[in-house]
Every structure is written in C-alpha cells, then in structure tokens.
A and B are shown apart, each in its own frame.
Chain A
Amino acid sequence: GAGVSQTPSNKVTEKGKYVELRCDPISGHTALYWYRQSLGQGPEFLIYFQGTGAADDSGLPNDRFFAVRPEGSVSTLKIQRTERGDSAVYLCASSLGQGAGETQYFGPGTRLLVL
C-alpha cells in the first residue's frame, strides 16, 4: 500500500518568504507527526495531531511555525517569514494510534533551503 508522501520534495525560498509543506499520511492513520532534521542530527519533534486537533505542539520553535490538519488526514506545515536557520529536512510520520508505543511510518521528507 501507499506510504507517507510529502510534497514538495525540495523547496528553495528566500529569507522572509512564506512556505507550506504538505504531508499525506497512510490511509486510516489517526496520528500525524512533524519533525525537523538538521544535517548530522536526529529528527527533532515539532508537533503531532490526533485526528484534527493538535495533541502536542510543544516542539514548535516559535510563532512563525504553524500546522493544520483540517479533515484529519492531510496536514500542512506553514512557516512564515522564513529565516536561514529554518533550512532543514522536514519529516512527516503517521501512526495507526496515538502515543510513543505506536510504530511511526516516515515520509521521505521535504528539503527546505532558505537563501
């Protein structure tokens, strides 16, 4: 079956611009996670959704970052006024249920470069 997909695969933008990153989870998965991975580092948690609601957004670094999942399936991570330090791979994962014990399936990531 189809795995987690993310679009675009690569995004180059200029400092100060707005970007949207999209995640399509595995069908039927109720939990959806966003992580950020910098070069040489592990994934760093940003936010996760259970259904349509954000169950934990404690990892969002500041109010320039926002994410939605309006229908409980596709999610969009939105970054306003991008900064060069936002350059990273943004990973999305989904799991059948909520919680640390559930297997998370990752997408290939969106590589964001802010010039």
Chain B
Amino acid sequence: QKEVEQDPGPLSVPEGAIVSLNCTYSNSAFQYFMWYRQYSRKGPELLMYTYSSGNKEDGRFTAQVDKSSKYISLFIRDSQPSDSATYLCASGAGRRALTFGSGTRLQVQP
C-alpha cells in the first residue's frame, strides 16, 4: 500500500463548478500537507501548504486536513479552464522528503 493514495481521475467539470480533490494517507507521523499543481510538461508548483489539521483558504482554493481520518482535500471554487492541470497531494514529516500521491488530472470545460 502506498503511503499517499489519490484517485487518478480524470475529472471533467464545466467552468464555474466546485471541484473536490481528495487523498488519503497512512503514515500517522505526517505533519505537513501540500497540494501541487502540474501543467503538462512542466514541473509541479506549490499551490497550498497546511501544517497539521485544519483548513486553509487562499482565493478560490481551500485545503483541508483531517488527521483523525487521514484525509486531505482540496476544493476549487468557480473553476476556470486555466485550472486544468494535474493536482498532486504530498505529505511529509521531519527531515523526510515528501511523499506524493499519483495525481488527479482535472479538465475544466469552457
């Protein structure tokens, strides 16, 4: 079993929809939770960063972490065609490198 599991999609939504992306993780030691966005043939770029449990909001994006259920979520409001990309969740602890999920491919249709 992978330490971070993510539904690969693809997920196709109409412009303006609310998108929900989810991951689960198995390592109780994980403290840091990130969402990266990766456009085709580009490197991942950090979108959201959360430490421990709770919510974090940044514009149209909200990240949630529930450590009791080991569940990580990213919500995108008013989705735009420019949001079409692969979204990667990642988790880590201490001096360890990050462990990434397999990524969910999102397509926002105009």
Chain A residues in the interface with B (C-beta under 8 A):
4, 33, 35, 40-45, 48, 55-56, 59, 91, 93, 98-101, 103-109
CB distance from B67 to the nearest CB of A (A): 15
CB distance from A16 to the nearest CB of B (A): 27
Is A104 a contact partner of B46 (Cβ separation < 8 A)? Answer: yes
Q: Interface digits, B77-102 against A, CB 8 Å rule (1 contact, 0 not)?
A: 00000000000101111111111111
Chain B residues contacting A42 (CB-CB under 8 Å) are: 4, 6, 88, 90, 100-103
Q: How far is the CA of A25 from the CA of B90 in the complex (A)?
A: 21
Contacts A40-B8, A43-B88 hold; do A104 and B103 have CB atoms under 8 A apart? no
Q: How far is the CA of A41 from the CA of B51 in the complex (A)?
A: 24
Q: How far is the CA of A4 from the CA of B43 in the complex (A)?
A: 10
Is A56 a contact partner of B97 (Cβ separation < 8 A)? Answer: yes
CB distance from B63 to the nearest CB of A (A): 14
Is B102 a contact partner of A104 (Cβ separation < 8 A)? Answer: no
| Minimal Cβ-Cβ distance residue in B for A107 | B43
Is B88 a contact partner of A100 (Cβ separation < 8 A)? Answer: no
Contact of A100 among B4, B36, B45, B94 (CB under 8 A): B94
Contacts A100-B94, A101-B51 hold; do A106 and B99 have CB atoms under 8 A apart? no
CB distance from A107 to the nearest CB of B (A): 5
